[in-house]
Amino acid sequence: MHVDLVTRKVGSWKSLDRLLRRIESGDELRPDWIELKADVDPGRLDKKAWADWLVRLHAGVKRGIKTPHAKIKGRKKHLAFWQQTARSGFHDFVDDCWMKPYDAPWITDFDYIRSYQEGGLEGLDAYGTYSAVLGTWEYGVEDFVHTEFAGDVETVVEPLAGTAEFSYQGHFRHPQMTYVMFDLDPDAKKLVEGRRWLEGTERAFLLGNALGEDVWIDVRKASKGKSLAYIGKQSQNFFDAKDLFRILQWGTKYADHLVLEVSEPYVVEDEPTIDDLTRREMKAVGLNVALEDLDHVTPNPLTHHMSFDLVAWDDADRRTLFEYHDWIGWQPAALSALGKLLDLDMRYFHSGEAEWLPLEEGIDTSDVRENNSFIMFSRP
């Protein structure tokens, strides 16, 4: 089942004004997206004019603004535009659009560059930087539960939650669901609990090791009805085969479904030793960010064992933001083999059909190859 999205396109500033007036007066419902077309180029506005539009746009859309043509020449000019927009509640971490948390009534400041300008590399907001380069994705709670197969899910579980973006973004769309997150790191708990959440949404952030059964037992206690646990950004790669086996067992025993984000098959020695992730607003201040293999660890093409860091550097210094040491690049075939050993039902998310389809009943390869894939494990 597709999530129905309403996009309103405007071809002039006048028609944007008319549309926003109708929304502001309650004559028209807020659309998901407003798309600025043709000559409606915010890059050509002065700062004050764009500031006024940003306030009205933030209040007038649920998901964000599409501005495929906004190209601003010059690093400084682009940075000024980027910071103004990011501080006004919209980020552009996913292509060709400026997004806000779904229907969020308050403004979120996405400008992580400010932390670098104020405090240099040491002051750089590591989680904000991670969100900009790796932590934001196209699919979320909404897509996964707006399906026939998982439409009865009432609780979202996020193991290895880190910044818990999956739950946090999900709660804006489904505030009536329960969110149970956990992580080893007390700082992650502090960060997530320190964010502003909608009042009334039931949530718990537990401290615990995904490799210990006790935290899973507590997860079950904190859950309501059917639950879906989600491990994103291939964080299952933190685990070796035995640990992963346990996670699959517990994830499907203490939650009803365990979803893993998986990457399409790749050859580890073909991966670059340095994967440059520097974004334009970073370049403008002389900051660089990359995933970088550790010097002494060559990715093993047979075991897919590898070790790398998310690093940031400038002309003067260098800092490791996050370590991914002893990471195993699990590929979908190995994960599904483990699932079979455990006699689990396996499905994949078909983004074209917006449904969880059986993994073993003939797969639509075009959909799998072109998109990030997700495998769902459940007990029969």
Ligand X SMILES: C[S@@+](CC[C@H](N)C(=O)[O-])C[C@H]1O[C@@H](n2cnc3c(N)ncnc32)[C@H](O)[C@@H]1O
Positions touching ligand X (CB under 6 A) are 135, 160-162, 165, 183-185, 188, 209-211, 232-233, 235, 238
- Nearest to residue 205, comparing CAs of 374, 139, 197? 197
Supply the minimum distance, in Å, between the C-beta of residue 343 and ligand X: 24
Take residue 145 and report the two structure tokens written for it. 């539960």
**Residue 61: which residues within 8 A CB-CB, separation 6 or more?**
30, 31, 32, 33, 34, 100
Q: Which is nearer to ligand X, 131 or 147 (CB)?
A: 131
Instruction: Tell me whether residue 259 is exposed, middle or buried, using C-beta atoms within 10 angstroms of its C-beta: 0 to 12, 13 to 18, 19 or more.
Output: buried
Q: Which is nearer to ligand X, 65 or 160 (CB)?
A: 160
Q: Which is nearer to ligand X, 183 or 256 (CB)?
A: 183
Q: Which is nearer to ligand X, 42 or 232 (CB)?
A: 232
**Residue 130: which residues within 8 A CB-CB, separation 6 or more?**
163, 310, 321, 322
What is the rounded radius of gyration, in angstroms, for the C-alpha atoms of the chain?
22
d(CA 330, CA 149): 26
Supply the minimum distance, in Å, between the C-beta of residue 43 and ligand X: 30
Q: Which is nearer to ligand X, 202 or 243 (CB)?
A: 243
Supply the minimum distance, in Å, between the C-beta of residue 36 and ligand X: 29
Q: What is the DSSP string of 205-220?
A: EEE--TTSHHHHHHHH
- 130 phi and psi angles, rounded to 5 deg: -60, -45
Q: Which is nearer to ligand X, 209 or 303 (CB)?
A: 209
Q: Which is nearer to ligand X, 35 or 92 (CB)?
A: 92
**Residue 115: which residues within 8 A CB-CB, separation 6 or more?**
123, 124, 125, 128
Residues 291 and 308 sit within 8 Å (Cβ to Cβ): yes
Q: Per this entry, what is the length of the chain?
A: 380
Supply the minimum distance, in Å, between the C-beta of residue 57 and ligand X: 27
d(CA 340, CA 373): 18
Supply the minimum distance, in Å, between the C-beta of residue 325 and ligand X: 11
Supply the minimum distance, in Å, between the C-beta of residue 339 and ligand X: 20
Supply the minimum distance, in Å, between the C-beta of residue 175 and ligand X: 20
Q: Which is nearer to ligand X, 24 or 187 (CB)?
A: 187
Q: Which is nearer to ligand X, 83 or 131 (CB)?
A: 131
Supply the minimum distance, in Å, between the C-beta of residue 188 and ligand X: 5
Task: Read off the amino acid at residue 202.
Answer: E
Supply the minimum distance, in Å, between the C-beta of residue 18 and ligand X: 39
User: What number of CA atoms fall less than 13 Å from residue 34's CA on the CB side?
Assistant: 28
Q: What is the DSSP string of 6-70?
A: -EEEESSHHHHHHHHHHHHTTSSPPPSEEEE-TT--GGGS-HHHHHHHHHHHHHH-SSEEE-TT-
